[in-house]
Structure formats: structure tokens, C-alpha cells
Chain A
Amino acid sequence: MTQLAKQLEEPRANAANQAEPALLQAQNLSMLYAPGKGFEDVNLSLYPGEVLAIVGESGSGKTTLLKTLSGRLAPQTGSISFQSDSNTAELYKISEAERRSLIRQHFGIVHQHPLDGLRPRVSAGGNIGERLMENGWRNYAEIRLQALTWLKAVEIDQSRIDDMPLTFSGGMQQRLQIARNLVTHPRLVFMDEPTGGLDVSVQARLLDLIRNLVTELQLAVVIVTHDLAVARLLAHRIMVMKQGQVVESGLTDRVLDDPSHPYTQLLVSSVLQQ
């Protein structure tokens, strides 16, 4: 695992450094398909190394918000700025081509259904290598070596490098999708219910893996989940959504142990005690 961190060209800044600018900043974001459908007036800042969970029930607008934050759905109002190196880019003011290039270089997007984020009929190695080639890598031997390193990092047997993702189990496909996203060392990763639809034991393994990679690579992550236990394990901060509105946000353990909004109280009290 430590080799992965060593591959980074420069050590990433410490998340606790107060002077450091936000990586992603959203102001007054709204995108409503219909009243209460979508999201309204969202403000947030995300700093390097910080994990933010967006929680809420189905239809609360969390996935729509994630699409907008990750540059895949223009909002009706509001702005998002992304800070890379010393440049600030307004995500929806730059051209389509510039936005695509920014996403390719700096963002990772992990879909709920792994096959939405993988090429099912390209080998596992090819799935990882493709992202490197998009970013200008050309040396086949180096690309294959990277693919092997990342298969190991996500705990997939390296002998499976030439197999199609279609032959993988759901948990393996999800881990491959994560490898494909992290191989280019993005600064910011968006995850939509990454553990949804997996068995509990497979979930635990995936969560542990995500947790390690996030710390190791100092990734900033926005993760959408309806599972409060996932939020508690992974996230520093939490944002609770209901019908398109952010009803409560703050430190994860504060929101979950001392919820103040009626909806958050309902969510927390609905979880079965272990």
C-alpha cells in the first residue's frame, strides 16, 4: 500500500491546514426537475483529504447533486469552482472540452453499478490501462505494470489481469472500478452508493479498502449513501438531504449522535440497534 503513496509526485497537503483553499466549492446550487425533485440552494466546500457523505432516502436528490458536483449535469443556478494546482476553474463556465479534460485528469467517478463504470468486454488490465492512455501514457510495459500494481492494491488476484470484468463477482467488479478510477491519482473521487447491492461481508471488505485508499492517497471524496453506518465509517462530514433540501450538516459523529432536525432524528432512530 505504501508504494501507492510514494508514486505521488508531491506529498499532498494536510487537510488540517487552515490557510489552504477549498478543492471544490459550490454556491447556491439548484437543479429542480419538478418541485421537490432534484436539489435546491446547496452550498458546500470540500478540502483536500476530506470525505463528505451525502445521506437521505431515495428520491431526496442526492444522486442528482452528485452528478452536478462531478461535472456531468449543469445546474439551473449557482456555481461550482474547482481548485487545481494554482488555477481555479468554474466547472460550468469553461467549455465542454475543457470540462472533460479536467474531469479526466482530476476526478474519479465510481458508479453504483460497476458495469456502468467499466468496459465489460475489455480485460481487467485494459480497463485500468485505458485511463492511463487517456492521460497520455503510451508505454505498454509500464501500463501493464501499473495495472498489476492496482489489481493487487484492490485485492484482485493478478492472474486475472486478462479476464473480462463480466466473469468477475459483483464485489470484484466494484473493486476493479475503484482501481480504474484511482490509477490516474485523481484529487477528488465521487462515489454513488459504492456498496449498494453487495453482500454484507463483501461490503465490509470494500469499505475497509476504500477507507485505506482514501487515507493512503489523501483523497477528497464525496460519497452518496443511504447507509448511515457507511457514512460513520468513512466520512468526516455528513450532509442530510430531504426532498431536495439540505436539512442538516456537520461533523459525522455530531450529526449521528446528536441530530437536531426532525428528519435526521427519524433517520437515526430508524436504524436497528446492533
Chain B
Amino acid sequence: MKPVMIAKNINKTFVLHNQGAARLPVLRQQNLEIFAGECVVLNGSSGSGKSSLLRSLYGNYQVDEGELLISQGEQWLDLATAQAREIIALRRNTIGWVSQFLRVIPRLSALDIVMQPMLENGISDSQAKAKAETLLSHLNVPERLWSLAPATFSGGEQQRVNIARGFALDYPILLLDEPTASLDKHNAQQVVELILAAKQRGAAIVGIFHDAWVRDLVADRLHNMQQAAQLAG
């Protein structure tokens, strides 16, 4: 079977120009292949570059060296050198991102926030609404909140709206940045179910999970981070 995404020899160093040009190596010779229907969990201590690698896979961080190849039928698109508009197109229907932080858009209701990625992909209003409602109920967001803008929601409620949005489309690749952090066990369990269902339909998933029990339930394999700073030594 062919991987859905391949990261080859990824290197990244932050250069902080306004702090004496300090150099912080964060990723060193990272190699990763991701296949459909599996969940790879990035494993390593705090500061080992898990989050930087995940962000690089989304094109949110620019890698210094290496290739980030995404399967496009017979061809591969290299995210490391792709144009901004190619990355925007990929994010619309190929790579999904779920983090614990919701960037609130003023005046947009929770339901609209979840429906948005579906509407952008031409899914009908009624279908998008039905799916959004199913997801919000699954994640125990009270129905009375659906028509309200999440700016005033609790942190956990905002997080669950964001997770619903991330799972609204069946992206072939899903990147999960601690989606269960700060959720109670019952709600975290609901997120685990969504992850397992996404795997079942063939999504390739890369994630960071703080809770060991969540990791044990969803992970097919671990990708151990090598300490960039030590390797750079």
C-alpha cells in the first residue's frame, strides 16, 4: 500500500532575530510515512518538537529542509515548496486540523462554525446542518448554545465546537493537536469514538495526545521524536 503522506529528512531551526539571533533547532532528520486507516501518535517529552512537526505537516510552519509529500492520485505535491494557494486548496478538502483552540469569528454561531467547511465544499445547506447537529450532540454541546456565537462559551464548550468542525468533513488526512486536553473523561471518550470512526472510514491520522489512556485507545503506532537539540549538538 502507498502512503498518503511522506515526510522525508525534515529539518527546522527557529532563528530569533530580535533575541540576539538565537538558534533553536526543533526538528532534525524527521522521517515519517502515514497510511490510510491508521493513527500515528507523535511521542516525546515536552519540547521534543511534536507540535512543530504537526504544524509543519499542515504547512503552518515552514520547514528549512526536506520534503512533505502528499499523495494526489498518481502524483505527489510537496507541501514544503507548494504555493500558498495550493496549500489553501489542500486544507479545504484534503488535510483537516483539530486543535484545542477555537479562533472565534465574531458573530458566527456555533452551528455555522461547524457547517462552514462543509458549505465550502459544496455540501448542501440541509445536509451540512444535519451533520453539524449530529456532531454537536455527540460532543454534548447543549442545543440551546448552537445558535449563539461561542465567544462567551466555556473553554471546554469552545473546544468541543472546534472538534465538531474538525470532524465535519471526511478529510483523507487528519492532524490532531491534543484534541482531548482539558476535556472530562466522558467527553474525551466521545472524541475517541470520532477518531476511531475516522480511522474506520480510511482517514490517515497523526496526533499528539497528552492522556496515556486516549493514546492507548487510538494509536496504531508511535513515532518517537528525536531531540533536535541533542542531535544537532
A residues lining the B interface (CB < 8 Å): 15-16, 18, 47, 50, 204-205, 207-208, 211, 232-233, 236-237, 250-251, 253-254, 257-258, 260-262, 265-266, 269
Contacts and interface: CB of A to CB of B under 8 A. Distances in A.
Contacts, number: 58
A104 B114 CA distance: 38
A274 B59 CA distance: 24
Contact of A254 (B59, B103, B106): B59
Contacts of B103: 232
B62 A254 contact: yes
User: Which 9 pairs of residues, A with B, have the shortest CB-CB distance?
Assistant: A262-B17, A16-B89, A204-B106, A251-B84, A258-B61, A208-B107, A237-B84, A208-B106, A265-B17
B59 A251 contact: yes
Interface string B85-107: 11111001000000000010111
B84 A258 contact: no
B1 interface: no
17 contacts: A15-B88, A16-B88, A16-B89, A18-B86, A208-B108, A233-B105, A236-B85, A236-B88, A237-B84, A237-B85, A253-B60, A254-B59, A254-B84, A258-B61, A260-B15, A266-B18, A269-B18
B18 A257 contact: no
Interface residues of B, number: 21
B231 interface: no
A254 B60 contact: yes
Nearest to B14: A258
Contacts of A232: 103
B60 A258 contact: yes
B130 interface: no
A269 B103 CA distance: 19
Contacts of B86: 18
Nearest to B90: A16
A265 B16 contact: yes
Given A258-B61, A266-B18, A16 B92 contact: yes
Given A15-B88, A236-B84, 12 more contacts: A204-B107, A205-B107, A208-B106, A208-B108, A211-B105, A233-B105, A237-B84, A250-B84, A254-B59, A258-B60, A258-B62, A265-B17
Contacts of B85: 15-16, 47, 50, 236-237
Contacts of B107: 204-205, 208
A1 B60 CA distance: 32
B55 interface: yes
Contact of A251 (B88, B92, B106, B108): B88
Interface in B148-179: none
A174 to B, nearest CB: 16
A190 to B, nearest CB: 20
Given A16-B89, A208-B106, A257 B59 contact: no
A208 B103 CA distance: 14
Contacts of A236: 84-85, 88
A251 B89 contact: no
Contacts of A205: 106-107
Contacts of A258: 55, 60-62
Given A15-B85, A251-B88, A262-B18, A208 B60 contact: no
Interface in B1-34: 15-18
B88 A257 contact: no
A262 B103 CA distance: 26
A239 B107 CA distance: 27
A202 to B, nearest CB: 11
Given A251-B84, A251-B87, A265-B18, A207 B106 contact: yes
B177 to A, nearest CB: 12
Contacts of A261: 17
B89 A260 contact: no
B9 to A, nearest CB: 19
Contacts of B16: 265
Contacts of B55: 257-258
B164 to A, nearest CB: 20
B105 A208 contact: yes
A251 B61 CA distance: 10
Contacts of A250: 62, 84
Query: Which interface residue of A16, A237, A251, A265 has the most chain B CB atoms within 10 A?
Result: A251
Contacts of A265: 16-18
A211 B106 CA distance: 10
A50 B88 CA distance: 10
Contacts of A211: 105
